[in-house]
Structure 1
Amino acid sequence: MKIHLLVVGKTTAAYISDAIDEYCRRLKHYITFDIEVIPELKNAKNLSFDQQKEKEADMILKCLSPGDYIVLLDERGKEYSSLKFSEYIEHKMHTVPKRLVFIIGGPYGFSQRIYSTAQEKISLSKMTFSHQMIRMIFIEQLYRAMTILNNEPYHHE
């Protein structure tokens, strides 16, 4: 199984980008992981929030393949502790035959078409973070899950 992170818009803050690169490098020791960036919309200021979400949905759907298991990172999703998230990932490693695709939407969330395409939603916190920071937090939690599954000392109870 491969884990794929699909994000809308590039990461512009260097400190966030550096942290993402570091955790991606660490993850390569455990799993096949990649990030795909969907370009931000041009002339988005001329579009309503719903129009932006629909145009982003068109681009997101083009990146998906048959057999993908799609999980949205969404504020209304299920929350996990780090230990439970590691169990979730372990279960998916045994049950998802192709790609486990996590999607982080743009600043206004997802269109209904994306919600209806996804199999699950996960929330990383009840707090709100920028969609760029969520990338770093998610990748760090994925790395943490791998170290938990491998009984390594990164995570402390």
Structure 2
Amino acid sequence: MSGKRAARLSPDERRAQLVAIGLDMLTDRSLDELSTDDVARRAGISRGLLFQCFDSKRDFYRAVVQRECDDFVAATEPDPSLGPVPWLRSFIAGFVRYVLEHRRVCLALVRGAAGSHPAVEDIVDATRATLARRVAEGQRRLGMPDSPRLAV
């Protein structure tokens, strides 16, 4: 822990701060390399305080991955009132924009999370399933036949 005293935050604010630090750290390391000691140090708190916010390292990892996946899903959600072509363009543009803006984190999740972290595999799989359903919805809106490859 650093020599400076951490600001007193509510439990929800501290939890959000720690998740944000975890996400920031994923820009230059894999989920496997995400150290709770380093996260606590960056937050200016003890490791013990981090574990007052999260039950375990697994719980912390899940919160970080869930936040990123929730943001990804939200960024790709088209306006349901759009016509078929604008709807699909909106989805694709949101997908591409998100990946470009969060490239390193997306790579960390795709490369590391699903294969090496059973703790978060369900979260990543659910996100992929949501995106696949959106592609299938775009096909349906365009009047295209169902694709067995998109079945979830």
Q: TM-score, normalised by structure 2?
A: 0.28
Higher relative contact order, chain-length normalized (CA < 8 Å, sep 6+): 1
Q: TM-score, normalised by structure 1?
A: 0.27
Larger Rg: 2
Greater percentage in strand: 1
Greater percentage in helix: 2
